[in-house]
Amino acid sequence: MYRLTALVTLLAIAFYFFTCINVSRSRTKTGVKVPATSGHPDFECAFRIQMNTLEWMPIFLPALWLFAIYVGDAVAAGIGAVWIIGRIVYFIGYSQAAAKRGPGFMIQGIAAIALWAGALGAVLRLV
């Protein structure tokens, strides 16, 4: 069973859902109408946070699950939790100023690379 990895997956999805709601709130607050994706700096930051999170999900989720399967559930979930923390730090930083997004991006990037590299290493050892 991979209960911890499943929990981290659900938390990552919940965070992404939160970013979607944040974009919707930002549209209302700034008056940026659908289908526009630009027009107000605050909206554009909220939109980029959501899109960047979406761009990383296909990297993070398969790596998370492959790591869990080939290395271990608890370790995968721990690294996955670090990824989510990185996304939260990214969200907070980018919401304040685009230049403050770096630390969160670095945290989540390192976590994703660790999952991918760990899964790759484990798979290659099995071949």
pLDDT digits (tens, 9 = 90+) for 57-102: 999 999 999 999 999 999 999 999 999 999 999 999 999 999 999 9
pLDDT at 127: 76
Neighbours of 58 (CB within 10 A): 9
* Confidence at residue 73, expressed as pLDDT on a 0 to 100 scale: 98
In the prediction, which pLDDT does 119 show? 98
> Across residues 112-118, what is the average pLDDT?
98
Cα 92 off chain centre by: 13
CA distance readout (Å), 61 to 5, 6, 87, 111 = 10, 10, 14, 11
Mean pLDDT of 27-38: 97
Side chain identity at 18, as an amino acid letter?
F
Predicted confidence (pLDDT) at residue 37 exceeds the cutoff of 80: yes
CATH dotted code for 3-122: 1.20.120.550
CA distances in angstroms from 58 to 18, 27, 40, 41, listed in the order given: 18, 26, 28, 27
Give the residue extent of every domain in the chain.
Answer: 3-122
Mean pLDDT of the chain: 98
Sign of CA dihedral 19, 101, 40, 57: negative
